[in-house]
Structure 1
Amino acid sequence: MRKGCEHPDGCHTGVVPTLASATVGARLWLLVEYAGPWPERLENSGLPEEISELLRRARERGIRPQLIRRPGRRTRTRGEGVRVLVAYGTGRSPWLASGVVAGPDDLDLDALVAGVVPESCILEDEPVFLVCTHAKRNACCARIGLPLARSLAESVPGRVWETSHVGGDRYAANLVCLPHGIFYGSMSQAAALAAANAYRSGEIILDRYRGRAGIPEPMQAVEHFARAHTGERSIGAVAVESSRSDGDVTEAIVRCGDVRVQVVIEPSAFQAPCGAACAETIATYRLVSLDRLTPVRYATPALA
């Protein structure tokens, strides 16, 4: 277990750049409610057999498994089945569904892979928000994440869960918005509420935005810089139309609503202002150039 940051005014205040750091390998999600102790790594033993088997089957299919629990609750329930949520974060219309299953055989994860709601689940019409509070992975995730999860749950009742490790301990407190897989890091309580409210309106806030899960990091970076230039906030209005790499330099054409921009980026490094726990340099990206391309012109009728 990483003990956490030794400089409380360093990594977790928004000083460290968060852009292009969302988990690349997560477009499909399985959330399993479990109020008991979470192991440091979910693939380790110590969980009930039915929970372990659900997580194992998810990993086999390329689904991101997470343990979840309600903020502030540690009471275990027995004999009620296992509560699960599944999220399909790819394509134009991501979705979220939930259900209670008796065991692993009652949840059709192959349906999720195919983009179909499993028969044991029903679609949800509201997003969910995950706050990492996994103390056994990093103490900061619990120290900062726990009060944030409780505060956010008061503002968005029934839609907030504590969750196990989501990646990026240095960005605690981490917030994930599902089903799209929108990542934020270094969140304060005010920043988390603003991000959650924006997401419920179909928008993204660039402040402390880490990126969208399942997208390669360079593409997360070009999206970030394109949004910063155009001011486009809508989740679905930004798309990378083409890209190419020449060594470390990446060039992409990005559509932002009715605007197209050419973005050129390259890797950069940031030295964290922390103690020994996070003394390594942090990989990020630097904007080399950004040019607005000639917009598509549409014929318009002459004014009378």
Structure 2
Amino acid sequence: MTATERFLCADAARTRGDPMAGTAPHGTVWILIEYRQGWPVNGFDGLDLDPQTKALVIEAAHQAQARILLIRRPGRRHSDGDNRWAVLSHDQGGTLLQRWGTWRRDEDLAHIVPALKARGTNDLGPVILVCAHGLHDTCCAVRGLPTGRALSRLWPDLVWECSHVGGDRFAANIVVVPDGVYYGGLDAQSAVTVIEDHMADRIRADHLRGYTTLFPPQQAAVIAVLRRFGPAGRNDYTIGETVRHDSGWHIKVTGRPPHLPELDVEVVPRLTPPRQLTCRGPADSSAVRYEVTSIRTPSR
């Protein structure tokens, strides 16, 4: 690379063929805060808000193991009307819950704290988050902004740009919440196809980074099953058992009809060579990839 060329981590990752399976951060609770001005590099933590209110929200999020994301609508920014906030969760029974409110003054964000303990409604559509946090990573803006605009033309009420979600090198990244589904390596055209399939409860292995309700090796196991046997609904496959052994994990994947009822999947972690993983990465570092070495039906 010459001195005049700009390093873009998403371009480099696609050239290398970096695997995405197993890269969705674990979590089941999200706090979304609409903020239409510029986002600091560290998102909500860097906002100049009332210190007491900000500390309340951060502590409540920590207690609930919730992730705080800033959001805004794609396209031209406007300042009319109140901002919105939301608490979204995916409970242990698989129920998807949402609770929304509005804020004008910083102190209004304190309403997020009791909302984290209240039961939300389960009759709302999914929230489609497109990472467009350019100050955190250049690729998130270069690839995320046009992807968000394309999706918002079809689903204007569901699509938001959001702050950093992780995995910058997989931009454009999309997170569907509270389903907890991470997609990556997208552009404006492929994102429309992926979301059309998602809305039809037809999840494909292509572009799937994982389900946030599962841990990385479990995510990789489900993605390998989807790649082998074809698309399935978000809850068509569940994890029956995960056993750690010397070289990796033995994972039982249970399917609902018409899918195979049970599969044994072997997953082995591999460390990649050191490389620059983000646009702003100060040094090369390694990443863990999860290699599925076998998928088989249990012997009886």
Band of TM-score, shorter chain: 0.7 to 0.9
Q: 1:106 to 1:211 in 2, by over 3 A?
A: same
Instruction: Tell whether 2:293 aligns with 1:288.
Output: yes
> Counterpart in 2 of 1:301?
none
Which is worse superposed, 283-292 or 237-246?
283-292
> CA contact under 8 A between 2:240 and 2:252: conserved in structure 1?
yes
DSSP-derived class of the 1:95 partner? strand
Instruction: Tell whether 2:64 aligns with 1:65.
Output: no
Segments of 5+ residues of structure 2 without an aligned counterpart are none
Name the CA distance, whole Å, in 1 between partners of 2:56 and 2:161: 19
> CA contact under 8 A between 1:270 and 1:281: conserved in structure 2?
yes
Post-superposition CA distance 1:93-135 (Å, at most 9, x none) = 223332224603333x455356x11xxxx65521121111111
> Counterpart in 2 of 1:87?
88
> CA contact under 8 A between 1:10 and 1:272: conserved in structure 2?
no
Shift of 1:266: 0.1
Post-superposition CA distance 1:180-219 (Å, at most 9, x none) = 1100111121221112112211221210100011421111
DSSP-derived class of the 2:148 partner? helix
Name the CA distance, whole Å, in 2 between partners of 1:171 and 1:272: 17
> Counterpart in 1 of 2:36?
35
DSSP-derived class of the 2:219 partner? helix
Name the CA distance, whole Å, in 1 between partners of 2:237 and 2:48: 40
> CA contact under 8 A between 2:10 and 2:169: conserved in structure 1?
no
Query: Aligned partner of 1:90: which letter?
Result: D
Query: Aligned partner of 1:89: which letter?
Result: H
> CA contact under 8 A between 2:221 and 2:265: conserved in structure 1?
yes
> Counterpart in 2 of 1:241?
240
> CA contact under 8 A between 2:41 and 2:135: conserved in structure 1?
yes
Query: Aligned partner of 1:87: which letter?
Result: L
Q: 1:46 to 1:29 in 2, by over 3 A?
A: closer
DSSP-derived class of the 1:241 partner? strand
> Counterpart in 2 of 1:302?
none
Name the CA distance, whole Å, in 2 between partners of 1:14 and 1:188: 18
Q: 1:124 to 1:49 in 2, by over 3 A?
A: farther
DSSP-derived class of the 1:52 partner? helix
Question: Where in structure 2 are the equivalents of 1:211-290 lying within 5 Å?
Answer: 211-258=210-257, 259=260, 260-270=262-272, 277=279, 280-290=285-295
Query: Aligned partner of 1:293: which letter?
Result: P
> Counterpart in 1 of 2:116?
112
> CA contact under 8 A between 2:180 and 2:211: conserved in structure 1?
yes
Shift of 1:227: 2.2
> CA contact under 8 A between 2:44 and 2:68: conserved in structure 1?
no
Q: 1:195 to 1:232 in 2, by over 3 A?
A: closer
Query: Aligned partner of 1:17: which letter?
Result: P
Post-superposition CA distance 1:272-302 (Å, at most 9, x none) = 997995754432111121111369xxxxxxx
Name the CA distance, whole Å, in 2 between partners of 1:215 and 1:289: 19
Aligned-residue sequence identity (percent) comes to 26
Query: Aligned partner of 1:33: which letter?
Result: E
DSSP-derived class of the 1:265 partner? strand
How high is the TM-score relative to the length of structure 2?
A: 0.84
